[in-house]
Amino acid sequence: MMNPNKGNSSLNTLVGVIDNALSQISTAMPVTVLQVYENHTVDVMPMVDMLDNAGNAVEHAPITAIPYARLQGGDYGLIIEPKAGDKGLVVFASRDISDVVQSKGKAKPASLRKHSMSDGMYIASLLYDEPTTYIKITGDTVEVKAKEIKLTGNVTISSDATIGGISFLKHTHKYDKGTILPPK
């Protein structure tokens, strides 16, 4: 079988042209977060270098000011902001999305740019150590681990809850005048 990477033939030329065209298409890439901004964008550094024609590694330039994803539907969301040093995945849109990002709505492509790293979106963290603060859902159990938990709004407990070994339904309160009120 012929090795398409050796010799001078029209097939080798065609393979080279196709390979060069494919190298211009960005699809997805693991990255490291460099900076996080209040406008919900990040600067990232690709974790996989490019190769020059001699096979030498060439570092990418940082990809700047790309939006990052959060888990949200309507007015409900799980807000987990990325932070510098996180490793994650960036995907690249097939068209220029700069007007969509700016307007946060439907827009035509701002240019003829296609499959560019300029149209990246940071969508997920990966290659991480286990977190120390988390919400973990396993089967019908929700586990929350944090140094401090703040609840805002009405809290309804439909069955007994135990916090620090104290049962909400079985606990009684002692008041200044020595009156003990039973649970309702």
Distance CA 100, CA 106 (A): 6
> 143 or 7: which carries more pLDDT confidence?
143
Task: List pLDDT tens digits, range 146-159.
Answer: 999 998 999 888 88
Structure token digits, residue 172 = 């009684």
Q: Find all residues with CB under 8 Å of 172, minimum gap 6, and list them.
A: 180, 181, 182, 183
- For the domain that residue 30 is a member of, what is the CATH number? 2.40.50.230
Q: How confident is the model at residue 165 (pLDDT cuts 50, 70, 90)?
A: confident
Distance CA 39, CA 67 (A): 8
> 173 or 56: which carries more pLDDT confidence?
56
pLDDT over 80 at 37, yes or no:
yes
Q: Is residue 139 part of a domain?
A: yes
pTM: 0.76
Q: Is residue 1 part of a domain?
A: no
Please give the tally of structural domains in the chain. Answer: 1
Quote the distance between the C-alpha of residue 129 and its chain's center.
15
Domain coverage including residue 101: 25-181
Q: How many residues does the chain have?
A: 184
Q: Is residue 2 part of a domain?
A: no
